[in-house]
Amino acid sequence: MDELLKILDISETKATQTKFKFNVNEGSSDPEHSAIHFLKTEFPRFVTMTAWRKKGAATNMLDNYKYAVSFAQDPDNKHRYIFGGLFYVEDLPNVKDIIDGIGYRLYLDQSKNIQENIGKLAVITNELVKRSISRTYDSTRELSLSIDHKSDMNFS
Beta bridge partners of 83: 71
Residue 47 pLDDT: 96
Pairing of strands 18-23, 132-136: antiparallel
Distance between CA atoms of residues 66 and 138, nearest Å: 16
Q: Convert the pLDDT of each residue in 62-118 to its tens digit.
A: 988 999 999 999 988 988 999 999 999 999 998 888 888 899 999 999 999 999 999
* Dihedral angle sign, alpha carbons of residues 102, 71, 37, 88: positive
Residue type, 46: F
H/E segment holding residue 143: none
pLDDT at residue 130, rounded to an integer: 62
